[in-house]
Structure 1
Amino acid sequence: MIGNLEYTIDELARVADTTVRSVRVYHERGLLPSPDVRGRIGYYGVDHLSRLQTISRLLNRGMKLNGIRELLEAWDRGDGLAEILGVPEQPDDTTPETTTAKAPVPQLPEYMRKALAATDPLEGYRLANPHCSDLATRLVDAGLSTTSAFGLVERFRADVDEAVDRYAAELFFHMAGKPFIQSAREVGDRSDFETNVAIARLMTNRAAAELVDQALARHTEPPTV
C-alpha cells in the first residue's frame, strides 16, 4: 500500500524532484517533520513527500519559507479555515440594530496605548506595525499629535478589518474551502487545500492592494484648472 512507502533522504529528494540540501533546509527551518530514524538512517513516508511537494508548489508561487512555515504550522495545529487564513471568525451579528450600533471610532488597542506611554511612541508602534508606523510618522511630521495620528491610522485599520471580515470568508471558501469539502480528504486533497489557501491569500492580497491604490488615486488627482 502507498501508505507504507518509505524513502531515504536521497530517495525522497529524487521522487520530489528536489535536492537533499533543500530537504535538510526545510527540516532545519521547521517546515518538514523529522524522519523515523532507525539505526543511523532516517526514513521518510508519504506524508513527508506530500509536505515536500506542497512546499515546492508554494515556493513556485512566490511564497517565502517563513510564510509557508506559518501556514503549515496552523494546519498542523488543526486550526480552522479562518485561523489559517488569518481571518478572525465573527459572530453573525449583521442585523440592522447591531450594524448601526457599531462605534465609528474604535478605541486604541493595548499595544498602541503602550506605545503612547513609551519614551518614543512612534518607535514603540513600529515594532508591531512597521508600515502603519511609517504612515503615522508622516502624519506627525505633517503637524498632527501622536495620539491623533495613531487614531487616524487605527480608524483606517478598522475599516480595512471590516472589509476583510465581510468578504474574506466567502472568497476563501470558494477558492479553497469548497474544493476540499467536496474532496475525499485524502493526503493529496490536503496538499491541494494548502496550496489553494496560499494562492487565494496571495491573489486576494494583490487584488486588495490594487483596489486600494485605485481608490487612493481618485482622491489624489490634482485639481483641474
Structure 2
Amino acid sequence: MTAESEYTIDELARVADTTVRSVRVYHERGLLPSPDVRGRIGYYGTDHLSRLQTISRLLGRGMKLNGIRELLEAWDRGDGLAEVLGVPDQPAAEPAEPEESHPELPEYAKQALAASDDPLEAYRVTNPRCCDLATRLVDGGIPVHTSFEMVERLRADCDRIAGRYADELFHSLAGKAFEQSERSPKDRTKFETDLAIARLIVTRAAAELIDQAFARHAEAPPLSFGPQAG
C-alpha cells in the first residue's frame, strides 16, 4: 500500500489549486483541521487535501463559509443524513387536535417567555432566524406569547414539509449515487459535495414556492386577512 501523502502548507495550497492565505483562513474559521506539527513545520495529509477541495467546490457553488463550516462539523460529528443536511431534528409532534388554539410551546420558547428582562432577546439566542418575525409581530401589537406561538406553528409546518420530502429528494440527488459507489475517500468527498448542492437546490426551490404562495395570499382583498374560519 502507498503511504499517505504529506504536504507542507505551501505544497497543500499548490496541489489544491488555492492560496496559503486561504488555507490559513479556513483554519481560523474552523473549516480545516489543524496539521500534524513536527518541530516547527505543520504537515497535512490526504484528508486535509480532500477537505480543502470540498471547500473550494462548495464555495464555487455559492455557499458561504459559515454554511460550509456547519455542514462539515455535522459530518465530522457523525450526524445522520437529516442532521448533516440541516433538516430539523425535532421529535415528531403529536397530531394536533383541530380545536386546539394554543399549542404547546417548546421548552426554549417557554424559557424565553419566563425571562424577566426581554423575552424577545432571550428567544433570539435560541431561535435567531425567527426572532425578527416575532419582533415585528410584537411591534404590530401581537402579545409576545401569541407571537411565539405563530412562529412556532410556522416552524412546525416547515418541519412537516421537510419530513415529507427531504429523504426522497436528498436520496435521489445524492444518496443513491453514493450507495452505488465503492465508498472510497474520493466517493465520500463527492457525496459531501452532492449533499451540500442538494440542500442548496431544494432549499432555494422551497423558498421560491413559499414566496409564491405568500405572494398569492398577499394579493387577496384586505378584508380577507386574518384567521380563517374552519
TM range (shorter): 0.7 to 0.9
Q: Which moved more, 1:116-125 or 1:164-173?
A: 116-125
Alignment-derived partner of residue 152 in structure 2: 154
For the Cα contact (< 8 Å) 1:81–1:177, is it kept in 2? Answer: no
Aligned to 2:84: 84
Deviation at 1:112, TM superposition (A): 1.0
Letter in 1 for 2:114: A
Structure 1 contact 116–147 (Cα < 8 Å) conserved? yes
Inter-partner Cα distance in structure 2 for 1:137 and 1:39 = 54
Contact residue 134 and residue 147 of structure 2 kept, 8 A? yes
| Deviating more after overlay: 116-125 vs 150-159 | 116-125
- Please tell me the residue identity of whatever aligns with 1:26: Y
User: Per the alignment, do residues 142 and 43 of structure 1 end up closer, same or farther by CA in structure 2, a change over 3 Å counting?
Assistant: closer
Give, in angstroms, the shift of residue 220 of structure 1. Answer: 1.0
Q: How far has the Cα of 1:28 moved from its partner? A: 2.6
- 90 and 181 in structure 1: CA distance in 2 versus 1, 3 angstrom threshold: farther
Name the counterpart of 2:142: 144
Instruction: Tell me which protein shows more helix as a share of its residues.
Output: 1
Deviation track 1:142-189 (CA, whole Å, cap 9, x = no partner) reads 332221221122112111111111111111111111111111111111
- Which digits, 9 at most, give the CA deviation of each residue in 1:61-111, with x for residues without a partner? 1222222122112212222212211225699x9xxxx99x44455410111
| Counterpart position of 1:26 | 26
- Counterpart-to-counterpart distance in 2, 1:139 and 1:35: 48
Distance 2:217 2:131 in 1: 22
Structure 2 CA distance for partners of 1:221 and 1:3, relative to 1, 3 Å = farther
Aligned twin of 2:118 = 120
Please, which of 208, 211, 214 is the counterpart of residue 210 of structure 1? 208
Flag structure 2 segments of 5+ consecutive residues without an equivalent.
Answer: 223-230
Matches within 5 A, 1:1-225: 3-87=3-87, 101-103=95-97, 106-118=103-115, 119-223=117-221
Give the aligned residue type for 1:174: S
* Aligned length in residues: 218
- Cα offset, 1:50, TM superposition: 0.8
- Counterpart CA distance in 2 for 1:213 and 1:177 is 28
Cα distance in 1, alignment partners of residues 89 and 153 from structure 2: 20
Amino acid at match of 1:189: D
**CA separation in 1, counterparts of 2:54 and 2:189?**
6
1:131, distance to aligned residue in structure 2 (A): 3.9
> After alignment, is 77-86 or 108-117 more displaced?
77-86
SS at match of 1:108: coil
- Does the residue aligned with 2:181 lie in a helix, a strand or coil? coil
SS of equivalent to 1:4: coil
What RMSD, in angstroms, separates the aligned Cα atoms of the two structures? Answer: 2.4
Could you tell me which runs of 5 or more consecutive residues in structure 1 were left unpaired when the two chains were aligned.
Answer: none
Whole-angstrom CA distance in 1 between matches of 2:188 and 2:9: 23
Q: Larger RCO: Structure 1 or Structure 2 (Cα < 8 Å, ≥ 6 residues apart)?
A: 1
Given the superposition, is the C-alpha separation of residues 52 and 108 from structure 1 closer, same or farther in structure 2, using an over 3 Å criterion? same
